[in-house]
Structure 1
Amino acid sequence: MGTQTSIQTSEKPLGRDELAQLVARDITPGSFVNLGIGQPTLVSNYLTEDQNITLHTENGMLGMGPVAVGDQIDGDLINAGKIPVTELAGASYFHHADSFAIMRG
């Protein structure tokens, strides 16, 4: 039988941000990704520009950036979990029905 390796480097359980960092590093560069809501939304905070990953939200945004803070917050820019987010250059917006059609291929 093969051996399993663990991504955990200590006996302490991974925190939410540590898990999000691991997931962000695991996404294939150049991917288009829908992160969903809840814990997965933290992944956007750990993606790097050189990964060239495009994020999609169920509520109709392609090109979502990290969570917005402070004066970056625009009440009209939210992810599907209603968390304020930023937009990246070239972001686009569309009806949520079209957004779900994108996810379903």
Structure 2
Amino acid sequence: MPAVLKEREVSLKNLLLTITSLLCTLLVMEGLTRLYYGTGDRIPPHPDPGVRDEWRWAKEHLAAGKAEVEGLSGFDPMLGWREPGTLADWILRKS
């Protein structure tokens, strides 16, 4: 094999190794970031302040037990989604 081809082969291997290492590093960083924000009950960073406000609002409502969803169905934190009742039941709940 000529020396030029061997150099290209080594160069290609180094390039692939570098790209693979970079992708693996980014994947690990992404996983650690998600773990950090997911387990610490923290608001993920976002350039739009409205998203942070929505997360804060949702967190406050869940903490206050206000996890009601508009409509006939309801969500119980212990049991999950309730079957939709009748319109009369919904009116009674809202009044």
> Shared topology, TM-score over 0.5?
no
| Bigger radius of gyration among the two | 2
Q: Which has the higher helix share?
A: 2
Give the TM-score normalised by the residue count of structure 1. 0.33
Q: Which has the higher strand share?
A: 1
Give the TM-score normalised by the residue count of structure 2. 0.35
Looking at both structures, which has the greater relative contact order when contacts are Cα pairs under 8 Å and sequence separation is at least 6? Answer: 1
